[in-house]
Every structure is written in structure tokens, then in C-alpha cells.
């Protein structure tokens, strides 16, 4: 059961982190929109791979999920702020 939860964390959680990273970076890069999206998308492959590695390298399943959730929450906050929702 632990391996299945790690696979789910790596695949699902990694995808979510990579997608949030792509969105935040494409809005934050100071270059034309098409180039920013392309650069962010290429960089997201490394983020996705790192998330998968983290899911299997974490000491426990709960820590793997918590780590991915924390990164996703931070990226969601950055994305929220970059979209103009300043406090």
C-alpha cells in the first residue's frame, strides 16, 4: 500500500506542483508571453522529476504527501499574488 501511495503522490502531486510552477513562472518571467510559457513549461519537466524523486526519497508516505502539499500551497499563493490579488 505504501508504494501505491508514493506512486500516487509522485504522479498526481508532482503533476499539480509542476502545473502550478508552470503557471506561476510563466506569469512572473519578464519576457514576451509565448517565450515565458515555453520557458516555464520546459523548466516544469525538471520540477516534475524532482517531485517524483521526492515522493520516493521521503522518509515516510505522510511526509511525501506533506512536502508536495506544502510546495503546492506555496506555489498557489505565488500564483494568486502574481494574478494581481495583492493583500
Give φ, ψ of 37 to 5 degrees: -65, -40
- The 10s digit of each residue's pLDDT in 16-66 is 999 999 999 999 999 999 999 999 999 999 999 999 999 999 999 999 999
Helix or strand or coil: residue 84?
Answer: coil
**Long-range CB contact pairs, 80-84, < 8 A, 24+:** 82/24, 82/27, 82/28, 83/27
| pLDDT recorded at residue 74 | 98
| pLDDT recorded at residue 85 | 79
pTM: 0.91
Going from N- to C-terminal start, the domains of the chain cover 2-82
Instruction: Report the alpha-carbon angle 60-66-70, nearest 5.
Output: 150
Amino acid at each position: 500500500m505504501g508504494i501505491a501511495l508514493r506512486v500516487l503522490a509522485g504522479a498526481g502531486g508532482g503533476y499539480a506542483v509542476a502545473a502550478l510552477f508552470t503557471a506561476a513562472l510563466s506569469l512572473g518571467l519578464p519576457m514576451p508571453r509565448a517565450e515565458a510559457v515555453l520557458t516555464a513549461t520546459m523548466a516544469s519537466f525538471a520540477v516534475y522529476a524532482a517531485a517524483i524523486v521526492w515522493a520516493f526519497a521521503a522518509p515516510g508516505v505522510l511526509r511525501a504527501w506533506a512536502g508536495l502539499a506544502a510546495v503546492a500551497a506555496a506555489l498557489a499563493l505565488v500564483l494568486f499574488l502574481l494574478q494581481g490579488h495583492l493583500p
